[in-house]
Amino acid sequence: MASSAAGSKKPFNFLKWAKSRKGQQTLIIIGFSIIPLILLFTFTYYPFAEMAKFSFYDRNYTKVRGFVGLKNYADVFGRSDIFKSLFLSLYYMGGAVVQLALALYLATVFCFGVKGGNFFKGCMFFPYLINGIAIGFIFKFFYTRGFVLDTVLQWIGFDLESLPFWLRDTSINNVSLVGTSVWKYFGQNMVLFVGAMMSVDATLYEAADLDGANKWQQFKYIMLPSIKTIVMLNLIMAITGSLDRKSVV
């Protein structure tokens, strides 16, 4: 009887399965997954594998390319100038943390209500819209000896002769450039934080006010957990960008 039941079982019909609801759902999922996977492999994994392969070859195009093994890696790790360039990126990583902290603080202040908040948000976001070349000219004069920054510091009481050359002195020039980067980009992060904070349900703040929670407690227990995904995304983007920026040696 069991053998007759097994013999009466119909064979799998692919066309009938493909026309069914379950089959169409499966085919759509596979189809939509294959396209991005092909693009990901073509433009990400395959170039990465080729670059990894090239690292084991002599890339001097004036002669025949040959396999050199780990010689290129030994040369890289033996050159101090390469690690010095990587060390300079730490300035921008530190600036990225300051930039995000400042943006998060100001976004929180604006979300809790500030008179003229829209005007100030526009002013802080405006530097992000300025062309990078224009910013370079602006801060060239801003940091030039005896110009804007030095003049303001002299008003405070600093002696001009005791002030460093902000762009010439190698001990301070990267800090000056990081300050410029923070000025340009923190407005963008602030706007993103404000948008995320405004999406939080307002009734949560009202309930917190009724329970006697202050602004810091509302930020810590309501606002920050609600926007932690945006905070982490901005942090990753800022650190990634800090590795791409070039600084003055």
Residue 46, pLDDT score: 92
Residue 249, pLDDT score: 39
Long-range contacts of 172-178 (CB under 8 A, 24+ apart): 173/248, 174/88, 174/91, 174/247, 174/248, 175/91, 176/139, 176/143, 177/91, 177/247, 177/248, 178/91, 178/92, 178/94, 178/95
pLDDT tens column, 201-215: 888 888 888 888 888
pLDDT less than 70: residues of the chain = 1-9, 59-64, 243-249
Both tokens of 124, joined, read 């802080």
pTM to 2 decimal places: 0.65
Distance CA 110, CA 53 (A): 51
Residue 90, pLDDT score: 82
For helices 173-198 and 228-244, the axis angle rounded to 10 degrees is 150
Residue 247, pLDDT score: 42
Both tokens of 117, joined, read 């908040």
Nearest to 190 by CA among 238, 243, 139: 238
Residue 61, pLDDT score: 64
